[in-house]
Amino acid sequence: MISKFFLSVFIFVFATQSTFSQDYTPSAVNMEARKWFADARFGLFIHWGAFSIPGSGEWVMNDRKITAQNYAQLQRFFNPTAFDVTEWVALAKRAGMKYITLVTRHHDGFSLWDTKYSDFNVMNSPYDKDIVKMFADECQKQNIKLFLYYSLLDWSRDDYPHETGRTGQHSGRTGKGDYASYLQFMKGQLTELLTNYGQIGGIWFDGHWDQTAPEGESDRSSRLDWKYDEIYSLIHDLQPQCLIGNNHHLTPLPGEDFQMFERDLPGENESGLSFQNASDHLPIEACQTISESWGFNLNDTTYKTAQQLIQYLTKSAALGSNLLLNIGPRPNGEIQPEFKERLAALGSWLQINGESIYGTSAGYLPPQPWGCLTQKDNKIYVHLFNNNGKDILLDMFPYKKITKAYSLKDGTAVTVTLRDGTAIIPANSNQYEPSHVIVLETSDLILYR
């Protein structure tokens, strides 16, 4: 259990900051930030930038084989006149989200802030405003943490080792890749991001897989030595509380503070990308889209229902994971009404049922066909998705007694019996509505796992 783990670690770990992540000992503030993060459970992912303009998703440059030179034209069109940072941040707040993870530079290389290390940035667009700064200020005002997505892969720069890259092969780059130079560039940009925008909740790296061996080769290791120890110690030296995660689909490496899964919950591999085991000691975050695509896509009109998303959030928590839910706003700065509606529904549900999500740990049983469990202190939260008119059986119930049982939304008592170590919640003749939460208050722990 994460909470138990933190408690024990807090006792033994002091603020020792190692220079190299190989022998990384997280600082006390970093441990505190991990605890905050694991309790937060729900964040907003924002994929937005120059790639939003063509309306074909954030991989458009690669997918349509656009050269870096031609793609650079998008900088002249980036002018999101309808963008209202106050409204975007408020939308996340109303949805019950505790943090925002903003794409600051995706694989196309367009930087959303005032950076001196690349001309391909928002200040050279007609919009001419530092979007990271706008988010940093507004997130502080509305008391929500800001995390920054940062791509390790770059389809536009010559010095990125594109010769060994699996993607971006139609960028028309003729200059030779030079990782020493590219690493300097990334360090410069990360230093800006961690110096000019106040406290940053975390850095979310992506793109490692671009340098891995092709499908079919058993060696999944990187062809490139990314020198993560240098990157990670720079970040932790600048902001020790800043959490580092890397979407490399591997077991977490030294220096990383959380583990992420893309379009999968821990233990699943529906995306075909999630081969890694879930960490038993780091906070975990699953990221997922509301529609199909991450970045704005005109063809993408299939939205998951509010009910599916509520249940995905619940299942994430039941597996001990956060959910980072994505929106890919329109190029003009509008957010699709379909996204807004779903976020509002999640917010309304959390208003009533938030206690069963925030600060909880995984259920003692894994998710079941009827729903799943989360736990906190002496409470077990039973999330009913669909019991199909059948009794709910909680086998190997870890407590001797159930002192109280009730519906979370209105406190109505629920009859639950405990027989031979199985708690039985009888099928309700009125059939519970989807995502109904029943609280079981317990005493006398039998086993804790």
Interface residue list for ligand H79 (CB under 6 A): 58-59, 166-167, 206, 209, 262, 273, 287, 294
- Structure tokens of 298? 């005109």
Q: Which of 360, 399, 404 is nearest to 383 (CA)?
A: 360
- Structure tokens of 380? 């077990």
Smallest distance, ligand H79 to C-beta of residue 410, A: 38
Measured CA to CA, the distance from residue 15 to residue 206 in angstroms comes to: 28
Q: Are strands 321-327 and 42-46 parallel, antiparallel or unpaired?
A: parallel
Smallest distance, ligand H79 to C-beta of residue 147, A: 12
Measured CA to CA, the distance from residue 110 to residue 50 in angstroms comes to: 7
Q: Which is nearer to ligand H79, 209 or 358 (CB)?
A: 209
Smallest distance, ligand H79 to C-beta of residue 325, A: 12
Smallest distance, ligand H79 to C-beta of residue 291, A: 13
Smallest distance, ligand H79 to C-beta of residue 170, A: 14
Q: Residue 426: how many CB atoms within 10 A of its CB?
A: 13
CA distances from 130 to 170, 200, 203, 331, 374 (A): 30, 16, 18, 16, 40
Q: Which is nearer to ligand H79, 238 or 273 (CB)?
A: 273
∠ at Cα 297 (106, 163), nearest 5°? 40
Smallest distance, ligand H79 to C-beta of residue 335, A: 18
Smallest distance, ligand H79 to C-beta of residue 392, A: 35
The set of residues, in sequence order, having a beta carbon less than 8 Å from that of 391 and lying 6+ positions away, is 424, 425, 426, 427
Q: Residue 101: how many CB atoms within 10 A of its CB?
A: 26
Q: Which is nearer to ligand H79, 249 or 383 (CB)?
A: 249
User: What is the biggest distance separating any 2 CA atoms in the chain, rounded to whole angstroms?
Assistant: 72
- Structure tokens of 391? 């009794």
Q: Which is nearer to ligand H79, 224 or 380 (CB)?
A: 224
Smallest distance, ligand H79 to C-beta of residue 107, A: 7
Q: Which is nearer to ligand H79, 38 or 287 (CB)?
A: 287
Q: Which is nearer to ligand H79, 30 or 151 (CB)?
A: 151
Measured CA to CA, the distance from residue 292 to residue 330 in angstroms comes to: 15
DSSP bridge pairs for 327? 46
Q: Which is nearer to ligand H79, 108 or 229 (CB)?
A: 108
Measured CA to CA, the distance from residue 151 to residue 130 in angstroms comes to: 18
Q: Which is nearer to ligand H79, 321 or 353 (CB)?
A: 321
